[in-house]
Homo-oligomer: A and B are copies of this chain.
Amino acid sequence: MPSRVRLDRTRTTPRTPLAAAASRSDRGKSRAAESPATVTRVDTRDGRASTALLTDQYELTMLAAALADGSAHRRCTFEVFARRLPNGRRYGVVAGTGRLLDALRRFTFGESELAVIAPFLDPSTVDWLREFRFTGDIDGYREGELYFPGSPILSVRGSFAECVVLETLILSVLNHDSAIAAAAARMVSAAAGRRMIEMGSRRTHELAAPACSRAAYLAGFDATSNLAAVREFGIPGAGTSAHAFTLLHSGADGEHEAEAFRSQVRALGVGTTLLVDTFDITRGVATAVEVAGAELGGVRIDSGDLGVLARQVRDQLDALGATRTRIVVSGDLDEYAIAALRAEPVDVYGVGTSLVIGSGAPTAGMVYKLVEVDGIPVAKRSSHKESRGGTKKAVRLARDTGTIVEEIVYPAAGPAPDAGVFEARELLIPLVRAGAVIDDAPSLASGRDLVAHGLVSLPWEGLKLSAGEPAIPTTFAS
């Protein structure tokens, strides 16, 4: 993969051990210099929060039992996969890998974390966790890769002890980000090249919001309203104006929309986007052009029948000579509403709620399953929730046109399957070796390219928004 500009600041440090901690003595020293309030939340050497408690309690009690009986040191493979795609989706999008590798670096237990777990764990387990650094290997699908039911998206290998404690963190990051990215990709493909702004922060947890911006950008959105995402991930920021700003300039003596528009243009220039639907849209558009001139950057419509209004506003703008003024629409847009506006003169979609709730599928349903112990495949078998034992690899087959036709999951110990007349591409790449993140793990920018490429590679049926079968079948070779 060619070298690209790295937008993802979570991936700027080359080949850092997961826990960027120095020796124990160094740790002790820096801790002593910290105030008690700081110790509560800041436990890694770079001043960022430890991720070690983003964990379910049972992982640590299983660890305690396994350390006590000696089984903790057995060599294991855990795999992440989704049994199915939600709501009859045709494809999934792997997202969160960059964030996950960053979070794994911070998965270390400082005194503050140990104080929480000491009450229910024996001292030797607490000591083990104090020393904990992941030293195993992780392979995974590239961030931005499409996936299908059964795709072995992540393969984590190491001792049982060091793999079992990562379950919740790995699943939280991948399930969240992949759910958002899958919804975003459907919206991007429905928008057919028009500009997309993510503006859903207010409809999700405040700290999930930047991750939503990131997943949307990965899937092809152009910008975000969220400033934390601008800082953390280098995503372009964007914004318009709210009804409150127009209302602020009105009052008992009437509706002074022009005053609000004049103020905004004075502060932000004529390239700004004016919100025209506070009182009356036709009057709002006329006032906007009157104030800003025909060079006005854009107008936003946030309510009403967006298709009808977009046409009407386009005609009005054109008649006023504002032929290059963009029309931004927002307000409960999802992929279906976006597709329904395809024939209308819309320039920019602002998408909020439906994006951050995964458009009906807020979580990707991935699981983290133990598939191999000391070289022996293992699998539970009590119910429909069966899983396939053994460490796996996967290839995706494509025609020479680039259209994909099948995914084959096969035992990692065996030979790669015969691709026949198709081209086969290996899907798992090394992400972590002996606890260190691989130097050239893909960046957010390259992941964005990969999603765009992936959508083009789907068979025609794969881009349908309606519910149905996955775009390609997954075959399990043995």
Contact = CB atoms under 8 A, between A and B. Distances in A.
Contact of A47 (B35, B55, B204): B35
Nearest to A331: B385
Contact of A56 (B65, B201, B368): B201
Contact of A57 (B237, B244, B383): B237
Given A116-B231, A303-B384, A251 B373 contact: yes
Nearest to A120: B237
B264 A65 contact: yes
A237 B62 CA distance: 15
A53 to B, nearest CB: 4
A241 interface: yes
- Which one of A41, A68, A262, A384 has the greatest number of beta carbons of chain B within 10 Å? A41
Given A51-B206, A280-B382, A369-B244, A227 B76 contact: no
Given A35-B47, A382-B304, A58 B206 contact: no
Contact of A202 (B69, B122, B171, B202): B171
Given A58-B239, A62-B241, 15 more contacts: A37-B47, A37-B48, A41-B48, A55-B227, A58-B241, A68-B263, A71-B248, A164-B242, A172-B203, A173-B206, A203-B365, A204-B362, A243-B370, A247-B380, A248-B378
Given A244-B78, A247-B370, A54 B206 contact: yes
A173 B210 CA distance: 14
A202 B175 contact: yes
Given A227-B55, A237-B57, A241-B61, A176 B160 contact: no
List the number of copies, as a whole number.
2
A104 B404 CA distance: 50
A413 interface: no
Given A244-B78, A374-B251, A380-B279, A56 B205 contact: no
In this complex, the interface size class of chain A, counting residues with CB under 8 Å from chain B, is 35 or more
A97 interface: no
A54 B237 CA distance: 13
Nearest to A67: B267
Interface string A383-401: 1110000000000000000
A376 to B, nearest CB: 4
A422 interface: no
